[in-house]
Amino acid sequence: MTMLSCRKMTQLISKALDGPLSLLQRLALGIHLLGCPPCRRFRRAVQWLHAALASAPSDANLSSQARDRIRRALEKAAGN
């Protein structure tokens, strides 16, 4: 597997929150993270956000404006 871009790595970081990555994906991500501080920061941020949302009360309702702000912030963090 060739070295992937930060954009691809942020997609793998997000995918890893939803389920296991393949061995090649885990290796590529691990190697990339060794030399990429921005992707390490992104991983910490999405892991924190994932944990915070998982611990939020299930009856918490976000307005559509709040959902849009969160979506835009995540897209900006991912470089979209």
pLDDT at 2: 44
Q: What is the DSSP letter of 61?
A: -
Specify if 20 maps to a domain: yes
Q: Give the pLDDT band of residue 80 (cuts 50, 70, 90).
A: low
pLDDT at 3: 54
- Half-sphere exposure in the Cβ direction for 24 (13 Å, CA): 4
| Residue whose pair of structure tokens reads 């956000």 in the numeric block | 49
pLDDT digits (tens, 9 = 90+) for 10-27: 999 999 998 999 999 999
Specify if 36 maps to a domain: yes
Specify if 49 maps to a domain: yes
Specify if 31 maps to a domain: yes
Specify if 26 maps to a domain: yes
The most distant pair of C-alpha atoms in the chain lies apart, rounded to whole Å, by 44
pLDDT at 9: 95
Specify if 44 maps to a domain: yes
Specify if 1 maps to a domain: no
pLDDT at 45: 92
* Structural tokens at position 5: 């871009």
Entry pTM: 0.66
Domain count, the chain: 1
Name the residue range of residue 59's domain.
6-78
| Residue whose pair of structure tokens reads 């009360």 in the numeric block | 57
